[in-house]
Amino acid sequence: MSTVQAVRGMNDILPQASQVWQHVEQVLQNIFHTYSYREIRLPVIEKTELFARSIGEGTDIVAKEMYTFEDRNGESLSLRPEGTASCVRAGLEHGLFHNQTQRLWYMGPMFRHERPQRGRYRQFYQAGIEAFGWVGPDIDAEVIAVSSRIWRGLNLPQSPRLEINSLGDTETRQSYRAQLVAYLSDYENDLDVDSRQRLKTNPLRILDSKDAGTQKILEGAPSIRECLDEESSAHFDALCALLQQLDIAYTINQKLVRGLDYYNRTVFEWVTDELGAQGAVCAGGRYDSLVEQLGGKQRIPATGFALGLDRLVELVASLETIPDKDLDVYVIAIGTETKDKSWQYAETLRDHGYDVEMFCGDGSMKSQLKRADKSGALVSLLLGEDEVSSNSVTLKHMRRKNHQVTIPAVDLVRQLQEMVRE
Ligand code: ATP
Ligand code: MG
């Protein structure tokens, strides 16, 4: 019979790799907390309408990447392709924006039906932060500072590069869109197929095109800077000044527009050269109208980022600096009477915080010792009938030759502490 395989683009994270994941997740959580962000846990499935209304019908994500299905009641639901829309939905639903600011973080799987390749999967993981209720450039700088601290917290030898841009207000984008379309229309036939399509649906996204021919044409395109409204321009200048003050290096990329419709003013992306074609590890920006767009009574300014954990873990894994957490004790019991006692000792050691593995099933002394050796445990606890009758235990140091002691059972923890410390 054939075996069942995982769905394409949806990966298993095996025990060895999950050690790196846990390390990365721990570092991220600590950093989020040091900036006073609090965790929000959100469902993996939402009403399709939520994403259509927030991310935008014309975006790649909603138009072709979502896992959408009807549930048994005929309601259209989707696996979440990102976290921001759910954050806003939950905030509105539970009154989190009512007369208060919020700093939130989330982490978990996201789903997009894309062509799987290195760094691009159909189930992938994001960690993100969202700050609600602040209009000024200081919170934009804070959000960027959080991401910047992550690279340091993980000891990445080379920090990803920060690119920033401003999309201004609605009028900025309207007038820029018109200028861009006017310019690109002259080259319509030389654009790649996707871009030609976007000329009608979502022209700003053409700036994101990876097609070499289109990129060449874009070199002469008008820049959004000239269309920036005065306030957005001041906001952007203040953000740049804050970043300089924080010693965070950046480049201004006038072609950075981001793939989601809800952004205004600040947008940014952290990019690395070390992951091949999928170089963006973290992306975000300001989305001041999203809360209102999703039914909020008021306009609640907001800003945040989403970080691609799969890509970040790949960067960290290549460093091999994650210390292996070794097993402390392997418990071996020979003889039927000894098994009960060995359970008791194993539990006592766990009460004291040691990681303990027990040999389960039947096995000779030799085969059990072999397992102990393979387990990587520092110490083996040996229990035979002699030990049980004299109320003692034997501890064998697995990394030293002939280092074995038999001691009264009451001294077990103390003796183990010593052996671990040595
Ligand atoms: P890309 O241009 O790589 O498609 P995006 O603009 O669609 O990225 P966002 O929606 O901003 O990405 O998501 C933020 C981050 O999540 C990305 O920078 C990336 O690190 C990660 N990410 C997005 N899609 C995937 C995916 N399919 N597989 C793995 N990571 C992803
Ligand atoms: Mg994408």
Residue 182 is assigned to a structural domain of this protein = no
Q: Is residue 199 part of a domain?
A: no
Q: Which of 272, 298, 319 is the last residue of a domain?
A: 319
Judging by beta carbons within 10 Å of its beta carbon (0-12, 13-18, 19+), is residue 159 exposed, middle or buried?
A: middle
Residues 131 and 62 in one domain: yes
Instruction: Provide the number of structural domains found in the chain.
Output: 2
Q: Is residue 7 part of a domain?
A: no
Report the separation in Å between the CA atom of 284 and the middle of ligand 1, taken as the mean of its atom positions.
11
Q: Which ligand neighbours the alpha carbon of 307 most closely?
A: 1
With respect to residue 313, please indicate whether it lies within any of the assigned structural domains. Answer: yes
Closest atom of ligand 1 relative to the 258 alpha carbon: 6
Q: Are 336 and 300 contained in the same domain? A: no
Mutation probe of ligand 1 site: the residue of 21, 126, 305 with most atoms within 8 A of C-beta:
126
**Rounded distance between C-alpha atoms, residue 246 and residue 238, angstroms:** 12
Q: Are residues 116 and 148 in the same domain?
A: yes
Looking at the structure, tell me whether residues 292 and 365 fall in a common domain: no
Report the greatest alpha carbon distance in the chain. 94
Same-domain status, 157 and 42: yes
| Residues 132 and 247 occupy one common structural domain | yes
* Residue with CA closest to ligand 1 atom 24: 120
| Domain CATH number, residue 83 | 3.30.930.10
* Whether residue 302 is found in the same domain as residue 384: no
List the strands of the sheet with 404-408, edge to edge.
Answer: 356-358, 329-333, 379-383, 392-397, 404-408
DSSP string, 379-414: EEEEE-HHHHHTTEEEEEESSSTT-EEEEEGGGHHH
Q: Atom of ligand 1 at shortest distance to CA of 122?
A: 27
Kindly state whether residues 395 and 263 are assigned to the same domain: no
- Please give the distance, rounded to the nearest whole angstrom, from the Cα atom of residue 314 to the centre of ligand 1: 14
pLDDT in 10s for each residue of the chain, 422 residues:
899 999 999 999 998 899 899 999 999 999 999 999 999 999 999 999 999 999 988 788 998 999 999 999 999 999 999 999 999 999 999 999 999 999 999 999 999 999 999 999 999 999 999 999 999 999 999 999 999 999 999 999 889 999 999 999 989 999 999 999 999 999 999 999 989 988 988 899 899 888 999 999 999 999 999 999 999 999 999 999 999 999 999 999 999 988 667 889 999 999 999 998 889 999 999 999 999 999 999 899 999 999 999 999 999 987 766 666 689 999 999 987 898 999 999 999 999 999 999 999 889 999 999 999 999 999 999 999 999 999 999 999 999 888 999 999 999 999 999 998 87
Domain of 348, CATH number, reads 3.40.50.800
Q: Where are the beta strands (DSSP E) in 38-138?
A: 38-39, 45-47, 68-70, 76-79, 102-111, 123-132
β-strand pairing of 251-252 with 161-166: parallel
**From its phi and psi, is residue 198 left (phi > 0), alpha (psi between -120 and 50) or beta?**
alpha
Of the residues 285, 319, 353, the one at which a domain ends: 319
Q: Are 129 and 22 found together in one domain?
A: yes
Domain-ending residue, one of 268, 290, 319? 319
d(CA 204, ligand 1 centre) in Å? 18
> Are 283 and 404 contained in the same domain?
no
Locate 324 and state its tokens: 């292996």
Residue 299 covered by a domain:
yes
Residue with the nearest Cα to atom 16 of ligand 1?
308
- Do 343 and 314 fall within a single domain? no
Q: Are residues 102 and 233 in the same domain?
A: yes
Domain coverage including residue 376: 329-421
Q: Which of 139, 175, 160 has the alpha carbon at shortest distance from 285?
A: 139
Specify the ligand 1 atom closest to the Cα of 121. 28
